[in-house]
Structure 1
Amino acid sequence: MSLPLQGSLFDGDAIALGSIEAIRRTQLDPSSWVDVLPGWLSGASQLFDRLAERVPWHAERRPMYDRVVDVPRLVSFFGENDPLPDHILVDARTALTTHYASELGEPFRTAGLCFYRDGRDSVAWHGDTIGRGATHDTMVAIVSVGAPRSLLLRPRGGGASVRFTVGHGDLLVMGGACQRAWEHAVPKTARPVGPRISIQFRPRGVR
């Protein structure tokens, strides 16, 4: 079931970023962590509408076992030399680069967008280990607009999962050894949920 996006009480707000200084860290293990800041972006419903309309969304297909299947979400990727589809994403990338400069030591450069149309869209357990994320500590910063969805993390190799609910303007940053030592997923849900767009900012050479 696909539902239209239901706006929040703050939908009349202008699209803007709040202070990132209030972000709070959860230490997953001695080398891996997640930072979360609810409502970092105001005017999230307006940004959702802009991105849904402006972004060149496409469906991907990939081999799985003995067949080729549809990836259960729409995607779009903006490389470091590509113009981003909205100026607020430029501002967000700059703010993240400034805030994490001492830990990351390099700028965020790319933006990958995923459009989860309803509860049937999902992303399976994985780590962003294509490129340097397979061998080096790095960061992936996710800004979510639209209906809240669960983002789960579990230790690579199995173990209890940790659940975060991200949606209307929330920021979640995975850092340290998180991509190597942990996996994350957005599971399917049978509950009726509205659409969500996630924007993932990454440094150069991390996918």
Structure 2
Amino acid sequence: MPNQMRRSSFLWKAITAISLVAVIGAGYWLFKDHGKETLPSAPSPSLPKMANLPRKEPEIKPPPKPTYAPDAPVLEQARQALREGITPAGALAMAAALPEKPERADAAFLLLEYAAESGNAEAALAVGEYYDPSLDLPSGSIRKHPAHAFEWYQIALAGGHAESRDRLADLRRWVVASAETGAADAKALLETWP
């Protein structure tokens, strides 16, 4: 009797396992294409292929390559002043007084960024203008970046510089317009804009 029960138990387990495999196999076979889109047999001539789409231009064009030597006189003057410990107010004044040379924008940016990081609201506004894509101001080799412009304008506003409110309003209009055209950086900034 115990052998017969063992055989019966084994037979029952084997039948159950085979049935389970059959059910899973049948389910897979019946539903293997469920949820997948069927592709047309021939490509539709009205749908463009990715290779034929026009190349998308970058949202913000990078700045031009510098046309001056890395040790250009005006740029070296700014670096020297920073090495010697110029004050933030002195850096702001020096940036305003730099001569018109090809490297002027980059030299002024170094000085203004130093002054802005030291808490000077006027310098923070100027640094924001370098990054602001809504402004057509020379920015040297500094790439336009709306999120950086926003941050610097916020710092200038917190420091009491009222003009930064107007710059923020202009930047917001640019960001909204760019987000509507699909610019990813503009969409991201708009989502976090208070």
User: Aligning the two structures, in what range does the TM-score lie when normalised by the shorter sequence?
Assistant: under 0.3
Bigger CA radius of gyration: 2
Q: Which has the higher helix share?
A: 2
Greater RCO, CA 8 A, separation 6+:
1
